[in-house]
């Protein structure tokens, strides 16, 4: 039996900060339809990648979010044994999230003729256009009950793995005091939450920034473990959690990943604001998780992992790096091209700063903000005095390129990737979620499509005409104007269509089924919206169908992070 892999998101002195980016808007061929696509994006979710290899060994890539002075940074998490440690890049997470974000595509067509159609079309009617780690071996407790299992440095970090005698009366206090005495700025916060892991025989891994590295040097870490299940010990995270904190997990392995000890949430797609999914998607996920007792995940997507490898780090990017390494271009042009190509990658600023003198009055921020705005060549000969080209490329290879390639490799050698998402508050962080694989479940696409039909009559403009939206689930929502008729705050409909208990085989058991309740609520609402014939003036519109009763299609995705109201 696989035992769960333990990874803590955030403990000790770790604070939370938003990681913001703006993804590109995808283009879609809409045929005879008008279409509007949106990608709801959570800008502050905790993000982790788990990968299970063919041998069952699990690797975690954890993004560390922190704001505050560098000298106060300390990050710790319970682990079993003595894991291998490496570094990744925030750029890998940014690219991966953008590529796997759900896309909401609302196609629009017109039935009949509205009063302003002559303006739009020049007259005439419109057509439908746990455990499970490598054992470090038994060790006799060191002085004071603490044994150093491993220590060293990787990327911008110093790290140490310690084992604490689990028989000590205050095992967590002993661990924290040892870390403080050895230069790790760990406070009292969360001691009681770390204790149960140490009392169970787990070790403690702690990171701090190496002297000379600022808070801007913080980057994701790669931790390699032995065979087991991916599991997040969410309980220690509660000490630093904001209300309704997003938790986003990618799990790579032989099939679709499922939360084996949490619920699988199938969202009510009628509650999503399809006119503006950024407005309320995260609220719907939050309410859906609440209705599962705070212990549920939405499956954002599941599909082939290998196509994402080039998204994370393209082979052409490595080839460009090798071409530039051997090029004879002058120093100024070389630096400009390197920053343009790799400036968003972790480690790049440090590589430039450590191997190239900056002009007087110019900071590294100035250089990366506008490479063409900084005069690197006052002599006009294209050379930069004191620039160590060979050292720069060696540093880049180790600190910039290889970490991206290491992250890419997990996707290159894996069959399936699944993205799962939820939001949690501190009081809900009572059960550590674990993930396994279910090969009986099919893929989940990132694209969700709905169709809005504007029901025209000659007495109204298009903006005034009623409309109906046909949802992926087969249901129909009727409305007027540019306002979605339902919201989480005032809706009588549940946020989940179904809540399932899913294991490693089959589709799982439905433990909550709200499909009939949703259909009934829609029928009641839809009767309040006038039909085209009631508007006067004719127009040849066909009557809109009633609420659909087709089988539910799981609508899943990630919403824009907004502060959720506190629970009373």
The string of pLDDT tens digits covering residues 486-521 is 999 877 899 999 999 999 999 999 999 999 999 999
User: How far apart (Å, rounded) are the C-alpha atoms in residues 346 and 215?
Assistant: 12
pLDDT of 140 above 80:
no
pLDDT of residue 474: 95
> What are the C-alpha distances in Å from 1 to residues 137, 225, 227, 261?
20, 16, 10, 15
| 381, 384, 385, 386: CA torsion to nearest 10 | -160
pLDDT of residue 558: 30
Which of 4-18, 233-247, 280-294, 553-567 shows the highest mean pLDDT?
Answer: 280-294
User: How far apart (Å, rounded) are the C-alpha atoms in residues 168 and 339?
Assistant: 52
pLDDT of 302 above 90:
yes
pLDDT of 468 above 80:
yes
pLDDT of 552 above 50:
no
pLDDT of 531 above 90:
no
pLDDT of residue 159: 95
- 8 Å CB contact between 206 and 181: no
pLDDT of 397 above 90:
yes
| Rounded to 5°, angle at Cα 310 from 306 and 315 | 125
pLDDT of 225 above 90:
no
What mean pLDDT is predicted for residues 16-43? Answer: 42
pLDDT of 35 above 60:
no
pLDDT of residue 310: 95
pLDDT of residue 440: 96
- 8 Å CB contact between 2 and 231: no
44: confidence class by pLDDT, cuts 50, 70, 90: low
pLDDT of residue 41: 59
| 179, 182, 188, 192: CA torsion to nearest 10 | 10
- Bridge partners of 77, per DSSP, are 205
Phi, psi of 268 (to 5 degrees): -80, 105
pLDDT of residue 36: 56
What mean pLDDT is predicted for residues 270-277? Answer: 93
pLDDT of residue 39: 63
User: 39 or 281: which carries more pLDDT confidence?
Assistant: 281
pLDDT of residue 29: 39
pLDDT of residue 77: 86
Mean pLDDT taken over the chain: 82
Ramachandran class of 201: left when φ > 0, alpha when ψ lies in -120 to 50, beta otherwise = left
| Rounded to 5°, angle at Cα 537 from 531 and 542 | 40
What mean pLDDT is predicted for residues 403-429? Answer: 95
pLDDT of residue 38: 63
pLDDT of residue 118: 55
Give the whole-number percent of the chain exceeding pLDDT 70: 80
DSSP string covering 456-505, please?
A: --TTS-TTTSEEEEE-TTS-EEEEETT--S--TTT-SS-SEEEEEE--SS
pLDDT of 69 above 90:
no
pLDDT of residue 306: 95
pLDDT of residue 25: 34
- 8 Å CB contact between 46 and 429: no
User: 188 or 464: which carries more pLDDT confidence?
Assistant: 464
User: 229 or 45: which carries more pLDDT confidence?
Assistant: 229
- 8 Å CB contact between 127 and 256: no
pTM greater than 0.85: no
Q: Is 477 exposed, middle or buried (0-12, 13-18, 19+ CB in 10 A)?
A: buried
pLDDT of 21 above 50:
no
Which of 93-102, 110-119, 359-368, 455-464 shows the highest mean pLDDT?
Answer: 93-102
- 8 Å CB contact between 85 and 151: no
Phi, psi of 34 (to 5 degrees): -85, 140
Strand pairing of 84-87 and 221-227?
Answer: antiparallel
User: What three-state secondary structure class fits 247?
Assistant: strand
Sign of the torsion formed by the C-alpha atoms of 519, 525, 529 and 531: positive
């Amino acid at each position: 039996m696989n035992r769960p892999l333990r990874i803590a998101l955030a403990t000790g002195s770790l604070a939370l900060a938003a990681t913001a980016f703006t993804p590109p808007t995808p283009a879609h061929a809409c045929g005879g339809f008008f279409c509007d696509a949106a990608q709801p994006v959570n800008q502050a979710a905790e993000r982790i990648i788990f990968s299970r290899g063919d041998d069952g060994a699990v690797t975690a890539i954890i993004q560390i979010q922190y704001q505050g002075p560098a000298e106060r940074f300390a990050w710790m998490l319970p682990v079993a044994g003595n894991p291998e440690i490496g570094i990744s890049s925030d750029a890998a997470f940014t690219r991966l999230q953008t590529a796997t974000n759900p896309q909401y595509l609302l196609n629009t067509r017109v039935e009949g003729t509205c009063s302003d159609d002559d303006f739009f079309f020049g007259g005439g009617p419109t057509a439908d256009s746990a455990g499970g780690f490598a054992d470090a071996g038994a060790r006799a407790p060191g002085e004071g009950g603490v044994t150093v299992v491993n220590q060293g440095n990787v990327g911008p970090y110093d790290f140490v793995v310690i084992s604490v005698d689990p028989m000590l009366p205050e095992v967590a206090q002993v661990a924290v005091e040892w870390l403080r005495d050895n230069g790790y700025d760990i406070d009292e916060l969360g001691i009681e939450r770390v204790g149960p892991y140490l009392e169970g025989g787990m070790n403690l891994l702690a990171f701090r920034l190496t002297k000379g590295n600022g808070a801007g040097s913080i980057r994701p870490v790669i931790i390699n473990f032995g065979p087991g299940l991916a599991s997040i010990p969410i309980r220690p995270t509660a000490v630093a959690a904001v209300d309704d904190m997003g938790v986003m997990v990618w799990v790579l392995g032989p099939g679709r990943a499922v939360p084996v000890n949490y619920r699988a949430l199938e969202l009510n797609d009628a509650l999503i604001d399809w006119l503006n999914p950024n407005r309320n998607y995260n609220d719907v996920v939050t309410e859906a998780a609440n209705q599962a007792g705070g212990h549920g995940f939405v499956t954002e997507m599941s599909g082939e992992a290998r196509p994402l490898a080039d998204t994370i780090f393209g082979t052409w990017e490595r080839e460009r790096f090798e071409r530039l390494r051997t090029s004879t271009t002058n120093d100024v042009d070389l630096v400009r091209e390197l920053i343009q190509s790799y400036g968003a990658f972790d480690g790049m600023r440090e590589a430039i700063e450590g191997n190239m003198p900056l002009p007087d009055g110019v900071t590294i921020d100035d250089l990366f903000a506008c490479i063409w705005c900084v005069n690197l060549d006052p002599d006009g000969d294209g050379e930069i005095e004191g620039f160590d080209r060979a050292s720069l490329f060696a540093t880049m290879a180790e600190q910039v390129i290889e970490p991206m390639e290491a992250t890419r490799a997990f996707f290159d050698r894996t069959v399936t990737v699944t993205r799962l998402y939820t939001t949690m508050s501190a009081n809900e962080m009572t059960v550590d979620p674990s993930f396994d694989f279910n090969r009986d479940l099919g893929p989940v696409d990132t694209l969700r499509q709905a169709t809005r039909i504007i029901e025209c009559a000659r007495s109204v403009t298009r903006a005034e005409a009623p409309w109906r939206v046909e949802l992926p689930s087969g249901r129909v929502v009727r409305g007027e104007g540019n306002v979605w008729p339902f919201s989480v705050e005032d809706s009588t409909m549940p946020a989940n269509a179904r809540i399932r208990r899913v294991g490693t085989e089959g589709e799982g058991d439905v433990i909550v089924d709200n499909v009939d309740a949703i259909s009934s609520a829609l029928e009641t609402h839809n009767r309040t919206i006038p039909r085209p014939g009631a508007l006067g003036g004719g127009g040849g519109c066909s009557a809109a169908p009633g609420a659909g009763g087709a089988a539910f299609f799981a609508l899943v995705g990630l919403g824009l992070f907004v502060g959720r109201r506190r629970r009373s």
